[in-house]
């Protein structure tokens, strides 16, 4: 008889536990949904504040089949802006890198400027735009977390301004060496 009463008490406690667990799960789930919605709204507001209007659509989606890459033939060595040392002396640094541009073959500017011959003919103008843009920065600026990403955006803007077209949509910088 004692075993039956003990089994009934355990069964009753098990049912109470299941009921309380389900009540807790429903209350936590609804609260969790509300918190997730609040966090989503906060992220949306912060994203609007961190980006400039229209920036989301700034980089077009171009398929790999519609992309042609133009690489500057030789490695570029560019003098950077001098950094002031602790003793007041200026330290000259250099950036050595390879630069290539991704071009959209379907863009109307590509038809005008994008062929290999025309890009090679404008190579000196492109190098000048890159040199001018890069030489405004110091080595410590470029070695910062977003330094190269910001530099890529500036070079892209300078080259797009040079051609007065956005057929070049991406800049790649590789084999970076500071000296």
Tens of pLDDT, residue by residue over 30-43, are: 888 888 888 888 87
Do 13 and 98 lie in a common domain?
no
pLDDT in tens, 144-168: 878 888 899 999 999 999 988 888 9
Do 92 and 20 lie in a common domain?
no
Instruction: Give the start-end residues of each E strand in 61-132.
Output: 67-71, 76-79, 83-84, 90-91, 94-104
Do 146 and 124 lie in a common domain?
yes
Do 51 and 70 lie in a common domain?
no
pLDDT of residue 36: 87
Do 41 and 53 lie in a common domain?
yes
Do 10 and 76 lie in a common domain?
no
pLDDT of residue 55: 52
Are the beta carbons of 127 and 155 closer than 8 angstroms?
A: no
pLDDT of residue 8: 92
Do 52 and 74 lie in a common domain?
no
pLDDT of residue 89: 76
Residue 74, domain extent = 62-178
% of the chain surpassing 90 pLDDT: 25
pLDDT in tens, 84-94: 776 767 788 89
Residue with tokens 């301004």: 161
Q: How many domains does the chain have?
A: 2
Do 37 and 69 lie in a common domain?
no
CATH at residue 166:
3.30.479
Which of 58, 84, 107 lies at the terminal end of a domain, its last residue?
58
Are the beta carbons of 166 and 108 closer than 8 angstroms?
A: no
Do 46 and 71 lie in a common domain?
no
pLDDT band at 81 (very low <50, low <70, confident <90, very high): confident
Backbone angles phi, psi at 177, to 5 degrees: -135, 130
Check residue 164 and report its DSSP letter.
T
Residue 68, strand partner residues:
103
- pLDDT tops 80 at residue 57: no
Instruction: Give the start-end residues of each E strand in 7-166.
Output: 67-71, 76-79, 83-84, 90-91, 94-104
- pLDDT tops 70 at residue 98: yes
pLDDT of residue 73: 81
Which of 13, 39, 58 lies at the terminal end of a domain, its last residue?
58
Do 73 and 35 lie in a common domain?
no
pLDDT of residue 59: 57
- pLDDT tops 90 at residue 110: no
Do 75 and 33 lie in a common domain?
no
- pLDDT tops 80 at residue 48: no
Do 121 and 164 lie in a common domain?
yes
């Amino acid at each position: 008889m004692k075993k039956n009463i003990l089994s009934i008490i355990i069964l009753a406690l098990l049912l109470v536990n299941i009921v309380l667990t389900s009540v807790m799960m429903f209350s936590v789930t609804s609260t969790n949904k509300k918190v997730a919605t609040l966090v989503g709204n906060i992220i949306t507001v912060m994203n609007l504040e961190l980006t400039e209007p229209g920036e989301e659509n700034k980089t077009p989606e171009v398929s790999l089949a519609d992309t042609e890459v133009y690489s500057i033939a030789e490695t570029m060595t560019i003098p950077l802006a001098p950094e002031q040392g602790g003793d007041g002396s200026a330290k000259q640094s250099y950036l050595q890198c390879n630069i290539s541009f991704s071009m959209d073959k379907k863009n109307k500017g590509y038809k005008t400027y994008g062929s290999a011959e025309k890009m090679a003919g404008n190579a000196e103008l492109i190098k000048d735009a890159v040199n001018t843009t890069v030489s405004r920065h110091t080595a410590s600026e470029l070695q910062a977390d977003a330094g190269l990403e910001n530099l890529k955006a500036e070079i892209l803007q300078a080259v797009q301004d040079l051609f007065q077209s956005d057929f070049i949509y991406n800049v790649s910088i590789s084999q970076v060496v500071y000296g």
